[in-house]
A = this chain, B = another copy of it.
Amino acid sequence: MPVNLVAPVAADLHPIAGVRIGVAEAGVRKAHRKDLTVFLLDEGASVAGVFTQNRFCAAPVQISREHLSSGQPIRAMVINTGNANAGTGADGLARARATCIALARQLSVAPEQILPFSTGVIMEPLPNDRIEAGLPTAIADAQPGHWARAAEGIMTTDTLPKAFSAQVQIGGATVSITGISKGAGMIRPNMATMLGFLATDACVAPAVMQQLARDLADGSFNRVTIDGDTSTNDSFVVVATNKAAHAPVTSLDSADGQALKAAMLSVSQKLAQAIVRDGEGATKFITVRVEGGKTGDECRKVAYAIAHSPLVKTAFFASDPNLGRILAAVGYAGIDDLDQTGIDLYLDDVHVALQGGRNPAYREEDGQRVMKQSEITVRVLLGRGTAADTVWTCDFSHEYVTINADYRS
């Protein structure tokens, strides 16, 4: 049961001028599943991507990076589920290239203008013949209004499709932003992938696209964690089709740049948080906010130590205000000169720990009340400075073990 997440309503998702989306059933791993999605981009779109830092990154990640750096304008993306094409060596690279060549031929563009993405089982050969056979159907299906369909097309064991949309005024024009994502952590049958695709019809100078993609990822997908594992295939791609009637954004620090980035970040965060809300076995959505650090980096370390701790996460599952576990995680987060007597801890509005010890005014029933909620904010004050950072995560339940211990079927 996802935590406070509902399926998107197709009519609420703004089409993005210059983007058409088609979906097909290619039978990659199972029949009768929407497992192949293509994004077709009009000429003139700017594209940037951020990819997994995992050194065991999948073949499509390697090729997407290569194609993005080739300098050729990207004209299409192709996403398959059912097979991650990871841990597949040189053969995997060849199969991913073959898919790009096949799609490029049908679109009359160069293979370097295609970005491939795969998610599903790993260490098994990509059935690129079946993917290529499905491409004509996917291309024929392509429509600007197919965002909700795409959100379904990239699902693996997500229990709900994930799509969000927004509009914002930029330079006197109304621009639209729409995105989709899938998760959830690393999942059965093998491990899956966090994928995010975000498009806008805003005009963005190519020179700032990579920074925009990185900033958006840092503020959203890089701030969520399910189980601390990093997939081989994680990818986040940002597209600006440059169709809107306004002067191009040439700096993210300009008023227009800030407004656009804020609106895109808001959609990105919803997409990233949706992955946590639909995390494997999640029953609670936890915001971990760390303030009073010397640097944002040390705040992030502390936030991740809390968000990754199986002990903290099982305590949330149990609605048990077992708060020593949170303090212990703060203690081992890696701040060498941390003074425990400077630390305060809140659960929502409840002041639990004061100067490193139990707050004398804290009553267990108050902690218990907050822990029973489906949305909880953990707030840690380090008392060392003015930096802050936030991470989102979920609890750790029996269902997580059941899902991940289930034999691949």
Contacts and interface: CB of A to CB of B under 8 A. Distances in A.
Interface of A: 53-57, 84, 86-92, 121-124, 186, 190-191, 227-232, 308-311, 314-315, 317-320, 322-325, 327-332, 335-336, 338-341, 343, 353, 355-358, 396-398, 400-402, 404-408
A357 B90 CA distance: 9
A123 B328 contact: no
A137 to B, nearest CB: 29
Contact of A87 (B56, B123, B229, B356): B356
A227 B331 contact: no
Contacts of A340: 55-57, 87
A364 to B, nearest CB: 10
A350 to B, nearest CB: 14
Contacts of A91: 357
Contacts of A357: 87-92, 123
A280 to B, nearest CB: 10
This chain: copies in complex = 2
A219 to B, nearest CB: 21
A221 B335 CA distance: 22
A249 to B, nearest CB: 33
A325 B186 contact: yes
Contact of A122 (B309, B324, B343, B405): B324
Contact of A358 (B88, B329, B400): B88
Question: Taking chain A's interface residues, is the majority helix, strand, or loop, or is none over half, making it mixed?
Answer: loop
Contacts of A405: 314-315, 317-318, 320, 397-398
B320 A407 contact: yes
5 contacts: A56-B331, A87-B357, A121-B324, A123-B323, A229-B332
Contact of A230 (B320, B323, B332): B332
B311 A191 contact: yes
A398 B355 CA distance: 36
Contacts of A339: 55
Contacts of A402: 398
4 closest A-B pairs by CB: A56-B331, A89-B357, A122-B324, A318-B405
Nearest to A230: B332
A88 B323 CA distance: 13
A396 B407 contact: no
A89 B341 contact: yes
A315 B86 contact: no
Given A55-B338, A92-B357, A401-B317, A186 B408 contact: no
A121 B323 CA distance: 11
Nearest to A343: B56
A331 to B, nearest CB: 3
Nearest to A395: B405
A308 B87 contact: no
Contact of A123 (B310, B324, B341, B396): B324
A299 to B, nearest CB: 15
Given A331-B232, A341-B89, A358-B123, A191 B325 contact: yes
A333 to B, nearest CB: 8
A355 B87 CA distance: 9
Contact of A311 (B89, B229, B320): B229
A339 B122 CA distance: 18
Given A314-B404, A340-B55, A396-B401, A229 B323 contact: no
Contacts of A315: 404-405
